[in-house]
A and B are shown apart, each in its own frame.
Chain A
Amino acid sequence: MSSGDTLVEVKDLKVEFDVREGIIKAVDGLSLTVKRGRTLGVIGESGCGKSMTARAILNMVPKPGKITGGEILYYRQVGGNGKPLITDVINITKLDPDGELIRQIRGGEIGMIFQEPMSSLTPVYTAGTHINEAVTLHRLIPIRKVGDQLVETIQAHRKVSKQEAREIAIEMLRKVGIPKPEQRVDAYPHQLSGGQRQRVMIAVALSCEPKMLIADEPTTALDVSIEAQILDLMRELQETVDMAIMFITHNLGVIAEMAEEIVVMYMGKQVEQASAVELFYEPQHPYTRALLQSIPHVGKKSRQRLASIAGMVPDPFHLPPGCVFHPRCSSFMPGKCDVIVPGWKQIGPNHWVRCLLYEEV
């Protein structure tokens, strides 16, 4: 893999929350690579640090959380159109969280879609205003943003009329498959359905043609038919604009459909990483196996109970020694798993796992 392929590289990322009861390690030594135009899936239980990783990539870790270690490198390509491509390497963790550069990257180069389409749009602005805002913020360096004259700022940058700015918004809405975009552009969030709102969110995220889209459980709040539509839409758009996607979910069905490569996380650590096919057919880590077994299957005997992972997610303040998964593990080896911290081991050409089963100790 050449470095020109790499878009975002997370190296040994640590995100910690310093709260009164102690320190929570939300993300503990995570490393992953997002390649241009490819889809990376991140799965894991609630609270395993998936969303925190996504937020860290945009340097938006909420207080009192802090990035305490590691680095996130963003390979920004400058040039093109005949000029030679120069790759700037930006370490996102070192940027001022409210600075000019990170604000350009947020939305402009790395877009993000959230879980809750119901509440991700500001209730007082129309769909068109949202799209125009995103566009405005990222066309060159904004000059002065004066009050409500969003449309006028676009004019300053791109020499487009008010009518044209509106047309951009309509075009974006049409792209994401909203019916009657000419009317919907003036609709307020409460006038749109959940699926439509999520589409508007996607339109906002895509309006600046980002190099990467972080989709943080984008379909959790939607029903299955809309979920399928949204996923189709994301794939379609990915093909047309050659955008990388980091797809975060706890829905294994969705990730099987979307991702080319999958990272499995547990308690802030990645426990297994493989291509989608390999992970689903030959899961190696006991946690991944357990996760896959807990998917309900159509056609199983109805009397059979659905498999679930034994035990509970451990208390973040009192993490078990050794492998954090050992109290719930079906292949628990006494004397080993509760003592030794497993390392990150490559077991195939594109398959890594963090488990003592694959280490000679």
Chain B
Amino acid sequence: MAQATTKGASETKKQVSQSYWSLVWWKFKKNKTAVVGGIILIVFYLCFVGLAEFLAPYSLERRSNYTEAPPQIIRFIDAQGKFHLRPFVYGLEKHIDQETRKRTFKEDPSRVYPIYFFVRREPYKLFGLFPTDIHLFGVDESDPAASIFIMGTDSNGRDYFSRILYGGRLSLMIGLLGQFLTLLLGCVLGVISGYYGGATDMFVQRTTEFLNAFPDIPLFMALAAAIPKHWSPVTVYFMLTIILAFVRWGGLARQVRGLILSLREREYVLAARSAGASDARLMFRHLLPGTMSHVIVIATLSIPGMILSETALSWLGLGLRPPLTSWGVLLQEAGTVYAIRYAPWLLWTIPFLLITILAYNMLGDGLRDAMDPYGGR
């Protein structure tokens, strides 16, 4: 009897009604595609932004004598067909093509370099804070000829895998940072435009139309060309982020404005006003939160556009410039017939870019379905 009562009591306590976000999470979890997208993104951001130094066997600018070397395949079974528990790579051997006089490298099965994990190599700071020199993997460097280029090298003999890792950091962060700025601009201007209406609305909306009507690439080119050449790469990077955000806030501002136009007629706005709330308070404390679910979805779905814009700009040579390395910069090196013919491994950037963008779209679609209260299924 006593047991039954306690059980009943604990059950009533559990009966808390679900908040909006827990409902969203519950619905989101059921969408496997979206969850996969989310996990991919978490892993990517962790690997590229957080742990690039740790995962990369070499530093960004470390050059070797092996220029345009093909990827060294990680093997477990050697030429004799013997299985090794410790993976290894073959050494690289120089060949000179007698006809074209071109230097190429080939794997040499006679030289075996076992891969060691958690090796001490070049020092770096983990997350920019903790000085350490441990890298995930590497080969024994007591032999100067030893190397591990799992995705080959570029024309300067730099490890392409390391460069993709470091490049991903900038490309992924520019998406986030740029989107953050876009959100800021879009939300503030959208709310103001929708709330005040009239001339303010007119001005903001015509500005967004103007920006939308402008062809993207020429506008980017003009703005990017305005960045002085002598600025430091980091400044250029932030300028580029600002430019991307500046061009792209329009769409978001329009959506926010549309939502605010309907929300501002709600009674709770009047009620808050009658309680003495100021315009600014009404706009940013009572109206803006109502648009958040929508804004989050739009933001998620437009980050890929941001990343692609950066890539496109850098590819055109207008965005980031070496020594800054982003995926766009890497692709620029790969963007020649020569590269495709003789060093196809330089295209390794593309799958990473594709997966990132796919993952964002998967996540965004999932969020949209999860956050739509009317989307019954």
Interface size on A, residues (CB 8 A): 31
Residue A75 interfacial (CB < 8 Å): no
> Contacts A98-B279, A122-B286, A145-B281; is A106 near B273 (CB within 8 Å)?
yes
Residue B272 interfacial (CB < 8 Å): yes
Asked if residues B278 and A98 are in contact (CB atoms below 8 Å), the reply is yes
Is chain B's binding surface mostly helix, strand, loop or mixed?
helix
> Contacts A107-B275, A137-B277; is A124 near B270 (CB within 8 Å)?
no
Asked if residues B267 and A104 are in contact (CB atoms below 8 Å), the reply is no
Q: How far is the CB of B296 from chain A (nearest CB, A)?
A: 14
Among residues 260 to 278 in chain B, which have CB atoms less than 8 Å away from a CB atom of chain A?
A: 266-268, 270-278
Contacts of A63 in B (CB 8 A): 197
Asked if residues B275 and A60 are in contact (CB atoms below 8 Å), the reply is no
Residue A134 interfacial (CB < 8 Å): yes
Asked if residues B278 and A204 are in contact (CB atoms below 8 Å), the reply is no
Q: How far is the CB of B229 from chain A (nearest CB, A)?
A: 41
Residue B344 interfacial (CB < 8 Å): no
Which residue of B is nearest A62, CB measured? B270
Q: How far is the CB of B287 from chain A (nearest CB, A)?
A: 9
Contacts of B19 in A (CB 8 A): 188
> Contacts A145-B281, A188-B19, A191-B17; is A120 near B276 (CB within 8 Å)?
no
> Contacts A145-B281, A188-B19; is A123 near B275 (CB within 8 Å)?
no
Which residue of B is nearest A134, CB measured? B275
Contact of A116 among B17, B267, B274, B289 (CB under 8 A): B267
Contacts of A108 in B (CB 8 A): 276
Per the bound structure, the CA–CA distance linking A116 and B270 in Å amounts to 11
Q: How far is the CB of B261 from chain A (nearest CB, A)?
A: 13
Contacts of A138 in B (CB 8 A): 276
Asked if residues B276 and A60 are in contact (CB atoms below 8 Å), the reply is no
Interface size on B, residues (CB 8 A): 20
> Contacts A119-B266, A119-B267; is A107 near B274 (CB within 8 Å)?
yes
Q: How far is the CB of B150 from chain A (nearest CB, A)?
A: 47
Contact of B272 among A58, A111, A122, A191 (CB under 8 A): A122
Residue B290 interfacial (CB < 8 Å): yes
Contacts of A58 in B (CB 8 A): 274
Per the bound structure, the CA–CA distance linking A276 and B136 in Å amounts to 87
Contacts of A98 in B (CB 8 A): 278-279
Among residues 107 to 123 in chain A, which have CB atoms less than 8 Å away from a CB atom of chain B?
A: 107-108, 111-112, 114-116, 119-123
Which residue of A is nearest B19, CB measured? A188
Asked if residues B278 and A103 are in contact (CB atoms below 8 Å), the reply is yes
Per the bound structure, the CA–CA distance linking A178 and B268 in Å amounts to 20
Q: How far is the CB of B192 from chain A (nearest CB, A)?
A: 14
Contacts of B268 in A (CB 8 A): 119-123
Which residue of A is nearest B18, CB measured? A191
Q: Mark B216-247, 1 if CB is under 8 A from A, else 0.
A: 00000000000000000000000000000000
Residue A173 interfacial (CB < 8 Å): no
Per the bound structure, the CA–CA distance linking A115 and B290 in Å amounts to 21
Per the bound structure, the CA–CA distance linking A121 and B19 in Å amounts to 16
> Contacts A122-B286, A123-B290, A124-B290; is A60 near B270 (CB within 8 Å)?
yes
Which residue of B is nearest A102, CB measured? B276
Q: Mark B130-156, 1 if CB is under 8 A from A, else 0.
A: 000000000000000000000000000
Contacts of A106 in B (CB 8 A): 273-276
Residue A205 interfacial (CB < 8 Å): yes
Asked if residues A134 and B276 are in contact (CB atoms below 8 Å), the reply is yes
Contact of B277 among A124, A133, A188, A191 (CB under 8 A): A133
Asked if residues B271 and A121 are in contact (CB atoms below 8 Å), the reply is yes
Among residues 306 to 344 in chain A, which have CB atoms less than 8 Å away from a CB atom of chain B?
A: none
Which residue of B is nearest A60, CB measured? B273
Contacts of B277 in A (CB 8 A): 103, 107, 133, 137
Residue A201 interfacial (CB < 8 Å): yes
Per the bound structure, the CA–CA distance linking A116 and B266 in Å amounts to 10
Per the bound structure, the CA–CA distance linking A58 and B270 in Å amounts to 11
Asked if residues B271 and A120 are in contact (CB atoms below 8 Å), the reply is yes
Contacts of B270 in A (CB 8 A): 60, 114, 120
> Contacts A119-B266, A123-B290; is A103 near B276 (CB within 8 Å)?
yes
Contacts of B272 in A (CB 8 A): 122, 133
| 5 pairs of A and B residues whose beta carbons are closest in the complex | A107-B276, A107-B275, A112-B274, A106-B276, A119-B267
Q: List 11 A-B contacts (CB under 8 A).
A: A60-B270, A98-B278, A114-B271, A114-B274, A115-B267, A120-B268, A121-B268, A122-B290, A188-B19, A191-B17, A201-B271
Beyond the given pairs A112-B274, A112-B275, A120-B271, 13 more chain A to chain B contacts, judged by CB atoms under 8 angstroms and listed by A's residue number, are A103-B276, A107-B277, A112-B271, A114-B270, A114-B274, A119-B267, A120-B270, A121-B271, A122-B268, A134-B275, A138-B276, A204-B275, A205-B275
B-binding residues in A (CB < 8 A): 58, 60, 63, 98, 103-108, 111-112, 114-116, 119-124, 133-134, 137-138, 145, 188, 191, 201, 204-205
